[in-house]
Structure 1
Amino acid sequence: MTPTPAQPSHPPVSPTSSGGGPSLSEEEKYWTATRMDNAVPIDSPPGRTPAASAPLIGPRSTPPAGTPRPEHFGGHPMVGTFFYDGRPLGGKSTYCTGSVVHTAAHDIVLTAGHCGRGLQRATHRIFVPQYRDGLSAANQPRGVFPVSQMYIDPRYAANTKKPTSDLDLAFAQVGPNSRGKVEDVTGALTFTPTTKFTHKVTVIGYPSSEGVNAKHQAIRCPVTTSRLPGYRQVRMACTGFYGGVSGGPWIEDYDRTTGTGKVVGNTGGYNGGGNDANDDWVTYAPIYGKDAKALFNEAAAHRTVGARPPYQPSTDRPLLPGSAGTWQHTGLLASGDFRHTGHSDMIVVWTDGEVTLRPGNGQGGLDPERHLWPPTAPGRTREPSRPAASPDPTSST
Structure 2
Amino acid sequence: MTSANKSVVLTAGHCVKMGGAFHTNWVFVPGYDNGSRPNGTWAATKLLTTPQWNAGEDIDFDVAAAVVAPLRGKTLTDVVGGQDVAFNQARRQQMYAFGYPAAAPYDGSKLTYCSGRAFDDFLMSKDQGLTCDMTSGSSGGPWFQNFNDVRPLFRVRGPSRLPSRPEHQRPLKPFTESSHKNTSCGAHSGVMSLSTPLLTAVPLVTGLMGPALIGAMPVQHHDPAHRVAKQVVHTAKRTEVVEHVAARSPAEQRRVLDYWTPARMADALPIDMLGIVTKRDGLLGGLAKKTGIAAAPGLTGEKATSEKATGEKVLREGEKAKIPVPRFQSARPLTTTSGSRWLTGGAVTRTTGRVFLTVSGIDFVCSASTVKSASRDLVVTAGHCVKDGTGEWAANWQFVPGYRDGGGHPYGQYAARRMFVTGPWAHSADDSYDVGMVALTTAESQHVTDVVGGQQITFNGPRGGQTFGFGFPADPPYDGEHLVYCAGRLHGDPYKQTRDQGLGCDMTAGSSGGPWLSGFDPATGTGEITSLSSFKYSDDQRTMYGPYFGDAAKALFDTAQRA
Root-mean-square deviation (CA, aligned residues, Å) is 3.5
Q: Taking structure 1 as reference, are residues 169 and 94 closer, same or farther at Cα in structure 2, changes over 3 Å only?
A: same
Q: 2 CA distance for matches of 1:85 and 1:183?
A: 24
- 1:306 alignment counterpart: none
Q: Which residue of 1 aligns with 2:264?
A: 35
**Among candidates 213, 216, 234, match of residue 501 of structure 2:** 234
Q: Aligned equivalents of 1:112 and 1:158: distance in 2?
A: 15
1:79 aligns with 2:352: yes
How far is 1:24 from its partner?
4.2
What amino acid is the match of 2:375? A
The match for 1:124 is 396
CA offset digits 1:208-239 (Å, max 9, x no partner): 1x531236211012211111143422101122
2:363 corresponds to: 93
Distance 1:283 1:159, change over 3 A: farther
Counterpart of 1:338? none
Q: Distance in 2 between matches of 1:264 and 1:211?
A: 27
CA distance in 1, matches of 2:428, 2:540: 13
Give the Cα separation in 1 of the matches to 2:470 and 2:454.
14
- Counterpart of 1:53 in structure 2 is 292
1:178 to 444, 448, 451: 444
Alignment of 1:346-365 (within 5 A): none
Instruction: Tell me if the contact between 1:205 and 1:218 (Cα under 8 Å) persists in the aligned partners.
Output: yes
Residues 364-392 of structure 1 deviation map (CA, whole Å, 9 limit, x = unaligned) = xxxxxxxxxxxxxxxxxxxxxxxxxxxxx
In the alignment, the residues of structure 1 paired with residue 488 and residue 378 of structure 2 have an alpha-carbon distance, to the nearest angstrom, of 26
Q: Aligned residue for 1:206?
A: 472
- Unpaired runs of 5+ in structure 1? 303-397
Greater relative contact order structure (CA < 8 Å, 6+ sep): 1
Match of residue 155 from structure 2: 2
Q: Take 2:536 and 2:386, find their aligned partners in 1: how far apart are those partners?
A: 17
Match of 1:292 in 2: 553
**C-alpha distance in 2 between matches for 1:201 and 1:251:** 6
Q: Distance in 1 between matches of 2:370 and 2:354?
A: 11
**Distance in 2 of aligned mates of 1:105 and 1:197:** 29
Q: SS in structure 2 opposite 1:276?
A: coil
Larger Rg: 2
In structure 2, which of residues 480, 483, 487 is the aligned counterpart of residue 218 of structure 1?
483
Q: Secondary structure at the match of 1:156?
A: helix
Q: What SS does structure 1 have at the residue aligned with 2:560?
A: helix
Question: Which whole-Å CA distance do the structure 1 matches of 2:367 and 2:411 have between them?
Answer: 16
3-state SS in 1 of match to 2:424: coil
Distance 1:184 1:293 in 2: 23
**Shift of residue 179, structure 1, vs aligned partner:** 5.7
TM-score (norm 1): 0.62
- Whether 2:544 is the aligned partner of 1:283: answer yes
| 2:531 counterpart residue number | 265
35-44 vs 3-12, which moves further = 3-12
Which residue type is aligned with residue 100 of structure 1?
T
Displacement of 1:256: 2.2
Mapped contact 1:250–1:267 kept (Cα < 8 A): yes
Once the two structures are TM-superposed, the CA of residue 188 in structure 1 deviates from its matched residue by 0.7
Q: Percent identity?
A: 25
Q: Distance in 2 between matches of 1:101 and 1:22?
A: 26
- Once residues 460 and 559 of structure 2 are traced to their aligned partners in structure 1, the CA distance between those partners, rounded to angstroms, is 18
Which letter does structure 1 place at the counterpart of 2:369? S
SS in 2 for 1:151: strand
Partners of 1:21 and 1:121 lie apart in 2 by: 20
Q: Does 1:189 align with 2:452?
A: no
2:213 aligns to what? none
Deviations 1:42-70 (A, max 9, x none): 111699xxx982589xx99xx98798332
Report the Cα distance in structure 2 between the residues aligned to 1:84 and 1:65, rounded to whole angstroms.
33
Alignment of 1:99-178 (within 5 A): 99-118=369-388, 121-135=393-407, 140-157=409-426, 160=429, 164-178=430-444
| C-alpha distance 94-116 of structure 1, shift in aligned 2 (>3 A) | same
Give the AA of the match of 1:80.
G
The one-letter amino acid paired with 1:128 is V
Distance in 2, matches of 1:196 and 1:293, equals 15
User: Counterpart amino acid of 1:92?
Assistant: I
Contact residue 16 and residue 149 of structure 1 kept, 8 A: yes
Sort the Cα spacing of 1:110 and 1:257 in 2 relative to 1 into closer, same or farther, 3 A: same
Residue from 223, 245, 258 that aligns with 1:16: 245
Q: How many residues align?
A: 281
Indicate conservation of the 8 Å contact 1:179/1:185, yes or no. no
Relative to structure 1, is the Cα distance of residues 3 and 54 closer, same or farther in structure 2, using a 3 angstrom cutoff? farther
Matched residue type, 1:205? G
Question: 1:255, 1:242 → 2: CA distance?
Answer: 24
- The CA distance in 2 between the partners of 1:64 and 1:251, in whole Å, is 20
| Distance in 2 between residues matched to 1:215 and 1:274, nearest whole Å | 18
Distance 1:182 1:64 in 2: 34
Cα deviations by residue, 1:73-107 (Å, 9 ceiling, x for unpaired) = 366111111101231xxx32111010111111101
Change (3 A) 1:185 1:179: farther
With over 3 angstroms needed to count, the CA separation of the structure-2 counterparts of 1:214 and 1:285, relative to structure 1, is closer
Partner of 1:349: none
Aligned equivalents of 1:177, 1:237: Cα separation in 2: 36
